[in-house]
Structure 1
Amino acid sequence: MRLYLTALNPTDAVLDGFLPAAARLGLPVTVLTDQPERWPPDLPVQRCPVRDPAAVVATVTSGEPPAALLSNSDHLQTATALAARQLGLPGKDPAATRRCKDKALTRRAVAAAGLDAVASVTIDPGQDPEVAAGLPCPAVVKPRDGVASEDAYLVGDHAELAGRVAEIRRRRPEVALVVEEYLAGEVRTHDTLGDGTQLHTIGGWRTTLGPPPTFTEQSLDWAPLPVGPIAGQLRTQLDALGVSFGACHTEYVLSAGRARLIEVNYRLIGDRMDLILAELLDVPIFEYVIRLHLGEPLAALAVPDPTMLARHARVDYVCADRSGTLAVAPGAVDENRAGVRLGCRPLRQPGIHADWTGTNRDYLAALHAIGTDPEQVREVLREFRSGLHWEIRP
C-alpha cells in the first residue's frame, strides 16, 4: 500500500513535512506532479496531469494500491478530493473544497446560512469593472480563485479599482476577480484538523500585515483562540462551508466581537508556519494529517489543546523591498539563546532574480523564536534578526 501525494512545484511542506512523516509511518510515497523536472531527482516523483481527477485516478490505479491520497496544494484540493472519492479513499468533500477555493462561493455559503454578509461582486474576464459601482469603498479586489495575497489590493475609490483591474488583466486576462468590502480589524488565523465528524483547533496566530495597498504578512504571534463566542462563530462558518476533514487554515478579521472570514485555505498553514507549528506544539502534525487520510479518527491522535500550551512563538518574514538578484543571504540557522529556540530558514536562494510583487513571493527567509515568555521571545528574535544580513542587487 502506498501514499499518493499530488503537488505542483516543490514546497517545504512536502519536502520537509509530508515525505519525512510518511517515512516515519513506514509508508512508501509517490508524488504525482505535472512539473517533475522541478523536483529533486532522488524523490519518488511521477508525471501526472494533477488538475484532472480522472488522470489522477488512472495514474494511481496503474500503480501500487493506494493507502491514501492527499494534497497540500491550494490549487489541487478539489481535483484530489474527487479522485479520492472515485478511489473509495477517505478525503474531503469536493463541494466543500470548491466553496473554500472560490471566494464568491465562500461569501454566498456563509451569507445563505445567515452567519455574515460581506458585500461582494464578481467581475468576470472582460467584464466592465463598473459592475462593482454600487460597492462602498475602501474595498479589496482579488482573484476569485486566488491564493494568499497574490494580486490582492486595497482600493480607495472606483477609479483606483478600475486601474487595479486593468493592471491584473494585463498579466492574467483570463482571471475572474471579486471585489469585496474591506474588513477592518485585527487579522488572525484559525487552524484545525478534522476526521469528517469532529473538528479540533490546533492553533491560531495574530498577523501583522505590511503597508497597503498589498496584504503581505510580515509577522505572526502565537494567539490560540479559547473556547467562546468567537471560536463558536468560526466553527459555524466552517460548518456552512462543509469543512470537516484533514487540515484547514482559516484567515479572519476580529472586529467588534465578530469573526469575519477573509479566506479559507483547505490545507495546512503555509510559508513554513506548518513546520513551526509542529515544533511549537511538539506533535507530528504532518503524520496526523496522513493518518486522518488513512481513515483514523481524530480521537486516535494526541492533539493538544493549544490554549494550554506553556510556550509562545513569533515568526518574522524577511521581505525583499525591491526587484533584483539576491546576492547575500544566510543559510539555515538554528540557535538557542537564553532558553529561546531560534531558527532561520531561507525561502529564496542566492543568485535568484525576482521582481518585487508585494506578496509572499517577496519572502527571503522565515525567522522564528519559541520560548516561555512572549516579551523575551520578541526581544531575542529582534536580536537574532539584527545579526543576519540579506542583500539584493540590481
Structure 2
Amino acid sequence: MLYLTALNPTDAVLDGLLPAARNLGLPVTVLTDRPGQWPPSTPVRACAVRDEVAVTDAVATGPAPAGLMSNSDHLQAATASAARRLGLPGKDPEAARRCKDKAATRRAIVDADLDQVRTVVVTPQQAPRFDRFPAVVKPRDGVASEDAYLVVDGDDLTRRVADVRRRRPDVTLVVEEYLAGEVRTHETIGDATGLAVLGGWRTGLGPPPTFAELALDWAPTDAAVTARLHAQLDAIGVRFGACHTEYVRHDDRPRLIEVNDRLIGDRMDLILAELLGVPLFEYVIRLHLGEPLSALPLPDPATVDRWARVEYVCADRGGTLVAAPGGVDVRRDDVHLGCRPLRPLGATAPRTGTNRDYLAVLHGIGPDPATVRRALADFRADLEWVIAP
C-alpha cells in the first residue's frame, strides 16, 4: 500500500500521483483531515495529518505500507517523521522543517557562509521594525505568495503587518531585504546519494506590491548556477524526493527566495512531465519505495529539443465565475496547447493579488519560443472568462 498525506484535493494528487500509482500497480490510501472534500472515487481515510504520531498510527494499523509520502508544503515534516518512525524511505524531517520555515532557511544559508540576506522574524506580539528598504514581508510558513508584499518604508511595513494581523492574528511573519534580479525556478529530484536536475523556468510576475506569477518560460539552469544552488540546498539538507526552488538570478549569482520540498505546483508538474517526456510522478513514487535515483532515466534538461511557455489567467476582480472554458487540448503549428481550469464555475472569491486568483492555466509546448508564443497568444484570444460581481 502507498500512503499519501494530503489536505484538500490537488491536481498533483488527482491527476499525477494517483494515476502514477495505478500504473505501478500500487493500491493507494490518501490520509487527510478533510475526507469530505475528496471525490467519492478516491480511497481516503480520515487522519490528523499534521501530527506525525497520528500519521504513524494510521499507517501502522492499515495494510502493510510500501511507501509513505506527501506533496503538500504543510505536511512534509510530519510525513517525513512518520516515515522515519516506520522505517520507510523519506525526506529528512529536519530539512523539511527548514524548508517550510523561511527564517530557518535563511539561517542555514548564513551558517554555511553562502549568502547573507537581512531577515527579521516578527511574532504576533511584536511591532515590525526593519532598516533596509525596499523589503518583503510574508508569513514565515507561507505558501503560494499568500500575504507576501513588497514594502517601501517603515510606514508601509506597519500598514501591511496590521492588515495581515486583522485577518490572521496568530501568524508569525518574516521581513527581509528585497532581492533584485530575474526570478527563476530550479526543479530537482533526489535520493540519499544526490540530486538530479529536472530543469527550470524563468518567472514573470505581476505588478507590485504582490508577487503573483503570471507566466513561466522554460529556462534550464546552467552548470555554474546549478553548482551554487546545490551548495545552498545541501546546507539546508535538501536531497530526497522532489524539490521546487525559487531564486533570483543577479549577475549569475543565485539568491534563494524560498525552497518548497515538493514538486512545482499549479499544474506545472504535469506540464514539466510532458515537456521532459518522462513519467515524473512515477519516478517520485519509486524513490519513496526505496528505488535509487540511478534507476530513473532522466534527460539532460539542456538537451531537450522542445520549448514551453505557461500562462495563468487571473481574476481581475472579486466575484463569482459565471462563464469559463473547460479543459481544452489542441495542436496548432506543431505546438501542443492546453487549458485547464483552476477554479470551478460558480465559485465566489475575493481578489487577492496572489496565486489564489488563478482561474486557469494555459500552456504551449513546441519546437521553439517564437512558434510557441504565437500559437499560445492565438489560443488565448479564443477563450473567455466572465466574473459577475
Contact map agreement 2:3 2:30 (CA 8 A) in 1: yes
SS in 1 for 2:117: coil
Partner of 2:187: 191
* Cα distance in 2, alignment partners of residues 316 and 17 from structure 1: 20
Unaligned runs of 5+ in 1: none
- Determine if the alignment matches structure 1 residue 159 to structure 2 residue 155: yes
Contact map agreement 2:242 2:263 (CA 8 A) in 1: yes
SS in 2 for 1:369: strand
Partner of 1:21: 20
Deviation at 1:373, TM superposition (A): 1.1
- Determine if the alignment matches structure 1 residue 322 to structure 2 residue 317: yes
Q: Where do 4+ consecutive residues of structure 1 move more than 2 Å? A: none
SS in 1 for 2:31: strand
SS in 1 for 2:171: coil
Partner of 2:229: 234
1:37-61 CA-to-partner distances (Å, cap 9, x unmatched) read 0000111000000000000011111
Deviation at 1:148, TM superposition (A): 2.1
SS in 2 for 1:66: coil
Letter in 2 for 1:225: T
Unaligned runs of 5+ in 2: none
Partner of 1:299: 294
What is the TM-score with the length of structure 1 in the denominator?
Answer: 0.98
* Cα distance in 2, alignment partners of residues 43 and 137 from structure 1: 48
1:30-87 CA-to-partner distances (Å, cap 9, x unmatched) read 0000000000011100000000000001111111010000000000000000000000
Partner of 1:384: 379
Partner of 1:212: 208
Note the 1:263-278 alignment, pairs <5 A: 263-278=258-273
- Determine if the alignment matches structure 1 residue 110 to structure 2 residue 105: no
- Determine if the alignment matches structure 1 residue 39 to structure 2 residue 38: yes
Percent identity of paired positions between Structure 1 and Structure 2: 68
Deviation at 1:257, TM superposition (A): 1.9
Contact map agreement 2:144 2:356 (CA 8 A) in 1: no
* Cα distance in 2, alignment partners of residues 255 and 117 from structure 1: 14
SS in 1 for 2:287: helix
Letter in 2 for 1:325: T
Partner of 1:358: 353
Contact map agreement 2:56 2:86 (CA 8 A) in 1: yes
Letter in 2 for 1:158: G
Letter in 2 for 1:4: Y
SS in 1 for 2:262: coil
Deviation at 1:390, TM superposition (A): 0.3
Deviation at 1:283, TM superposition (A): 0.2
SS in 1 for 2:222: coil
Contact map agreement 2:188 2:196 (CA 8 A) in 1: yes
Partner of 2:366: 371
* Cα distance in 1, alignment partners of residues 367 and 109 from structure 2: 38
Partner of 2:196: 200
Deviation at 1:151, TM superposition (A): 0.3
* Cα distance in 1, alignment partners of residues 30 and 94 from structure 2: 24
* From 328, 335, 349, the counterpart of 2:330: 335
Deviation at 1:226, TM superposition (A): 2.3
Deviation at 1:256, TM superposition (A): 1.7
1:76-103 CA-to-partner distances (Å, cap 9, x unmatched) read 0000000000000000000100111000
* Cα distance in 2, alignment partners of residues 183 and 382 from structure 1: 31
1:221-277 CA-to-partner distances (Å, cap 9, x unmatched) read 00011222x111100000000001000000000012210000000000000000000
* Cα distance in 1, alignment partners of residues 328 and 267 from structure 2: 14
What is the TM-score with the length of structure 2 in the denominator?
Answer: 0.99
Partner of 1:182: 178
* Cα distance in 1, alignment partners of residues 190 and 226 from structure 2: 15
* Cα distance in 2, alignment partners of residues 342 and 83 from structure 1: 40
- Determine if the alignment matches structure 1 residue 150 to structure 2 residue 146: yes
* Cα distance in 2, alignment partners of residues 70 and 93 from structure 1: 12
Deviation at 1:303, TM superposition (A): 1.0
